[in-house]
A and B are shown apart, each in its own frame.
Chain A
Amino acid sequence: MTLPHASDRAVGEKRARLRARTILPLAGMAIGIAIVFFGLDWVGTDYAYLAAYTVLQFVVLATAWNILGGYAGYVNFASAAFFAVGVYTSVINYKTIKLPLIATMPLAAIAAGLLGLGVGYLTLRLRGTFFSIATLALSVVMNTLVVNWAFVGGSRGVYVLRPQTIEFFGPYTRYLCIVMLIMAIISVLIARAVERSWFGRGLAALKDDEIAAECAGVPALRLKLAATALSGALMGAAGAPFPYFVTYVDPATAFSLTIAVNTIAMPLIGGTSTWIGPVLGAVLLGSLQQIATVTISSALNLLIVGVLMVIFITLAPNGIVGLVEKIRERRA
């Protein structure tokens, strides 16, 4: 949790500062939204929309991961698995009942949330490290399941036809971008609400000292399960539009290392203590990668992300947000 300045200033001044801390980031978000709407429309190419889609998708994933990782201190290495649950829920929908995308997203969220509950129920009563280890293996297993499931394409994958345009929104890629933008806003609002609620503070207490928290009346298992389910659900929802984005879905793409690593690297680099961190990390790192993929190989790109992550964890454990706060504290 971030600490206010240790001072005895008047309540009025304190309120003004709080207002600044809330307004500035929200203003930043509003500007970002404006960029997406008007700036991208001005560029107008499919590529621009899809690049923005990727960055926004990472905003959702990073924010979702941080609810469990940053707030509660439980490291989930299986973001790709939860994401893939959303992807394949969407694929199944595409091959069967063909609901519109908007309707698929809640279904994907529920499926992924249930997976979170399941894994959580088995492992969250034990130490946090066991949960993390279980999630490590989870990705491999989900991958195996999909590979062996012919209906969703197995290892050969499926092709998903994406319409060229959609009414009211124009190009389908623009539509996808807007859907992901709304998803990003929703997830940030959810994270912010959790952070400020007693749910979030309970998680923070659990993260610091679970036994002391339980003795203070915090229902540890319930809160952890809720956080896991929420985190997983958001990741699943982010996966639902993915088939339309890539148009060819195979396990290698759905379970890609890019997603697994970025989802963890972005909050860690941005800062895990508040909702701003994952957003910062996603926007910065995501944009950098979009630019970099054009110039360097994707493997080298990932390597750089990994190295950056390790450097940040070692030297700036609270991420960019943490560094900014340290600078502020020194000035005070």
Chain B
Amino acid sequence: MVNWDLLSNALVSGVLLGGFYCAVAVGVTIAFGMLDIVNIAHPAFIMMGAFIAYFFNTSYGVDPLLACIIAAPFAYIGGRLMYRLYYFAFERHGEESLQGLAFFFGLLFIIEVGLLLIFGVDYRFVEARYIGPGINIGFVSIPWRMLIGLIVGLAMVAGVALFNAKTFTGRAILAVSQDPGALRLVGGNPVHIKEVAFGISIATAIVAGALLIIIQPVEPSIGRDLIGRVFAICVLGGMTSLPGTVIAAMLLGIAETLTTTYLGPSWSPAISFGILLLTLGVRPAGILGR
């Protein structure tokens, strides 16, 4: 007999987790899916965001989400500068994705170890009024902190979609994602477009970091667990498609919570990889890709 209580809680948790995963993956969809910038350090920036939230929360009592929203513009600028460095060193020569990948890997690693040196290996958590309590609908419990993850995550995807539809740079990004050769025809400066996109990507990562530490305690090496999830969602969602990202994030969230509920939490990191490999092997275009 199916335990409906357990199942429905797992499904709901999955959707909530999926919303958070939207926030986590949208930056990768922009940078990697649409513009081919293989920023594997994205999870490290999420961790940075989480620790920024932690720092301002414990030192100044600032709400963690607010801290990261304020930090987001700085992250945007930082992201743009970082892309300039990357472009100057690697893409300009038009070759050696080997070095480009290794560059981002180095960044991933430097950030993780840097956080380790500053904050240590202990789990850190933040405090806010919405962490802990939740609402109960029937026998389904919805913690507030997860709900915030869902709302902010979806809002971020919607925001990016709006940006892509309404602004020139956004539409240029869309055009390029559908036809890389269109970069020159678009009339904008291709480097500028990629730079802006990367800035946005990093900014989303910082905010996602706030969501992460709101949802669960963090320690620096969690970033590596996120890598598989982030790219699994991007690939499964069809790389360039924002709706695809949402659907894939939800699917992954549900798959993980079902696994955690029925098999135990220690298996959930493997789920994302399984999904990633399956997608790459069977249908590399993903769900909504072409």
Contact = CB atoms under 8 A, between A and B. Distances in A.
Interface of A: 69-70, 73, 75, 77, 119, 122-123, 126, 128-130, 132-134, 136-141, 143-145, 147-148, 257, 261, 264-265, 268, 272, 297, 299-300, 302-303, 306-307, 309-310, 313-314, 317
B132 interface: no
Nearest to A300: B117
B140 interface: no
B281 interface: yes
B11 to A, nearest CB: 23
A314 B110 CA distance: 15
4 smallest beta-carbon distances between A and B, as pairs: A137-B228, A310-B106, A137-B273, A141-B273
Given A310-B106, A314-B103, A126 B97 contact: no
Given A132-B101, A134-B277, 8 more contacts: A75-B101, A119-B277, A132-B38, A136-B227, A137-B228, A137-B272, A257-B113, A306-B110
Nearest to B264: A148
A180 B110 CA distance: 30
A141 B269 contact: yes
B281 A310 contact: no
Contacts of B116: 299
Interface residues of B, number: 41
Nearest to B86: A314
B284 interface: yes
Contact of B266 (A130, A148, A313): A148
Contacts of B221: 257
B22 interface: no
Contacts of A122: 277, 280-281
A265 B110 CA distance: 12
Contacts of A129: 38, 97, 101
Nearest to B226: A140
17 contacts: A73-B97, A75-B102, A123-B280, A130-B235, A138-B273, A140-B228, A141-B273, A144-B267, A257-B112, A268-B99, A299-B116, A300-B117, A303-B113, A307-B106, A310-B103, A313-B102, A313-B103
Contacts of A147: 266
Contacts of A314: 85, 89, 103
B105 interface: yes
B144 to A, nearest CB: 29
Contacts of B105: 75, 77, 264
Given A75-B102, A257-B109, A310-B103, A140 B266 contact: no
Contacts of A119: 277
Contacts of A143: 269
B240 to A, nearest CB: 14
A306 B227 contact: no
Interface string B261-287: 000001101101110110011001000
A130 B228 CA distance: 12
